[in-house]
Chain A
Amino acid sequence: MKRLNISVVIILTILGLLLTTSFYAKQTGLKTSPLSRKGQLIKVVRELEQKRERLKNDLKELRASLTEEEKRAASERGELTSFTKELQDLKTEAGFAAVNGPGIEVTLEDNPTVPSGEDPNNYIIHDYDLRAVINALWSGNAEAIAVNDQRLISTSAVRCVGTTILANFIRLGTPYVIKAAGNPDELEKSLNRDRHASLLLNSYAKSFGLRVKVTKVSGLKLPPYEGSLKVEYAKTLGEQ
């Protein structure tokens, strides 16, 4: 017992340090566990989406008042009328005005029941499926296209992030409704002519039970693009 010296004291100090450190390690380990981190991330995404909705509504109001101002200016001064008309046409072409007219509606829906042992990937609609249909519709001279009421403009992208499809950075869900304004016959022909689109709409739909519907509509309504369009890097060149 007499040999109990300072080293033993040091060792026990280390033991105490180890004990409390591991106690805290367990605590922080729980805090940063993947599960709670996932919850936090989901919360962040929800908050940001809500914020985006608010901003989108603001933008919508501002755009509406802008159009109002333009109209008033046109009625006040005669020479502006033709410019306003041109502006409206350009807005329609660019996808910033709601349009209606004849066209085609393509509905794509996942097969809700996947036979056991089969790859579930074959039974759902993918981003590339949507792109195939959209591209076929554009090549059929579609004048305006909207996916689940997301109007596609020149900078729109339909892409896949994780397990969801985004269009204009908005999440889409099955069923996917693609509305395209244009000549319905021409659009349908184009869908059949396009290799990917026709494969999807005819053979894949049958073999994998995807719910696919193509209907010609006489009075389609397409909403305007509601996102922002901030041109930050691209500079306009003078007319040459």
Chain B
Amino acid sequence: MKLYLLPLLGLLVGIFLGFVLKIPIPPAYVRYLGIAVLAALDSAFGGLRASLEKQFNDRLFITGFFSNTILAAFIVYIGDRLGVEELYLAAVVAFGVRMFQNLALIRRSIFKRWHWE
């Protein structure tokens, strides 16, 4: 049970830090941050699903977290550079769809685990 709580505690500490620090973000970069957060959330859900399916690999999780976040921000940047500002939609759709999929799988795993089926 403790193993579950520790990451959750980390999340809460992060949220708390964000509230306290209130890091100012220039308005021009808000979009980048938004997409990066989406990617990070996607990774987190992915990790949760993997751990519920007992396939969790911490190295995969860590690299996935950073590469997804950076790639997502990079896609927005490339879109802005090419004049295709809508390119960020590709990232939004990809991460959005994956998040819903992961959520569904998480739900299923929990059902299986608690024998609710």
**Residues of A participating in the B interface, judged by any CB pair closer than 8 Å:** 1-5, 7-26, 28-29, 32-33
Instruction: For A18, list chain B residues within 8 Å (CB).
Output: 14, 18, 33, 36-37, 40
CA separation between A10 and B13, bound complex, in Å?
Answer: 10
Q: Are A1 and B54 in contact (CB under 8 A)?
A: yes
CA separation between A25 and B41, bound complex, in Å?
Answer: 17
Q: Are B33 and A21 in contact (CB under 8 A)?
A: yes
CA separation between A54 and B58, bound complex, in Å?
Answer: 70
Instruction: For A14, list chain B residues within 8 Å (CB).
Output: 14, 40, 65
**Which residue from B6, B18, B57 sits with its C-beta under 8 Å from A16?**
B18
Known: A5-B58, A12-B44. 14 other contacts (CB 8 A): A1-B51, A4-B6, A4-B51, A7-B58, A9-B9, A11-B44, A15-B40, A18-B14, A19-B14, A19-B15, A20-B18, A22-B36, A28-B25, A28-B27
Instruction: For A20, list chain B residues within 8 Å (CB).
Output: 14-15, 17-19
Instruction: For B61, list chain A residues within 8 Å (CB).
Output: 8, 11
CA separation between A24 and B51, bound complex, in Å?
Answer: 31
**Which residue from A8, A15, A21 sits with its C-beta under 8 Å from B58?**
A8
CA separation between A4 and B48, bound complex, in Å?
Answer: 11
Q: Are A8 and B47 in contact (CB under 8 A)?
A: yes
Closest to B61 in A: A8
Give, as a whole number of angstroms, the nearest-CB distance from A1 to chain B: 6
Give, as a whole number of angstroms, the nearest-CB distance from A18 to chain B: 5
Q: Are A29 and B30 in contact (CB under 8 A)?
A: yes
Closest to A11 in B: B65
User: Of B3, B29, B37, which is in contact with the most chain A CB atoms at under 10 Å from its CB?
Assistant: B37
Q: Is B23 an interface residue (CB 8 A)?
A: yes
Closest to B54 in A: A1
Interface size bracket, B side: 35 or more
Closest to B8 in A: A12
CA separation between A39 and B89, bound complex, in Å?
Answer: 31
**Residues of B participating in the A interface, judged by any CB pair closer than 8 Å:** 3, 6-19, 21-25, 27, 29-30, 33-34, 36-37, 40-41, 44, 47, 51, 54, 56-58, 61-62, 65
Q: Are B44 and A22 in contact (CB under 8 A)?
A: no
Q: Are A25 and B62 in contact (CB under 8 A)?
A: no
Q: Are B25 and A16 in contact (CB under 8 A)?
A: no
Instruction: For A13, list chain B residues within 8 Å (CB).
Output: 10-11, 13-14, 17
Instruction: For B36, list chain A residues within 8 Å (CB).
Output: 18, 22
Instruction: For B23, list chain A residues within 8 Å (CB).
Output: 21, 24
CA separation between A32 and B25, bound complex, in Å?
Answer: 12
Give, as a whole number of angstroms, the nearest-CB distance from B93 to chain A: 19
Q: Are A12 and B11 in contact (CB under 8 A)?
A: yes
Instruction: For B41, list chain A residues within 8 Å (CB).
Output: 15, 19
Instruction: For A25, list chain B residues within 8 Å (CB).
Output: 24-25, 29-30, 33-34
Asked whether A17 and B15 contact (CB < 8 A) given A1-B54, A4-B56, A25-B30, the answer is yes
Q: Are A23 and B7 in contact (CB under 8 A)?
A: no
Asked whether A16 and B12 contact (CB < 8 A) given A11-B65, A25-B33, the answer is yes
Instruction: For B22, list chain A residues within 8 Å (CB).
Output: 21, 24
Q: Are B7 and A12 in contact (CB under 8 A)?
A: yes
Give, as a whole number of angstroms, the nearest-CB distance from B43 to chain A: 8
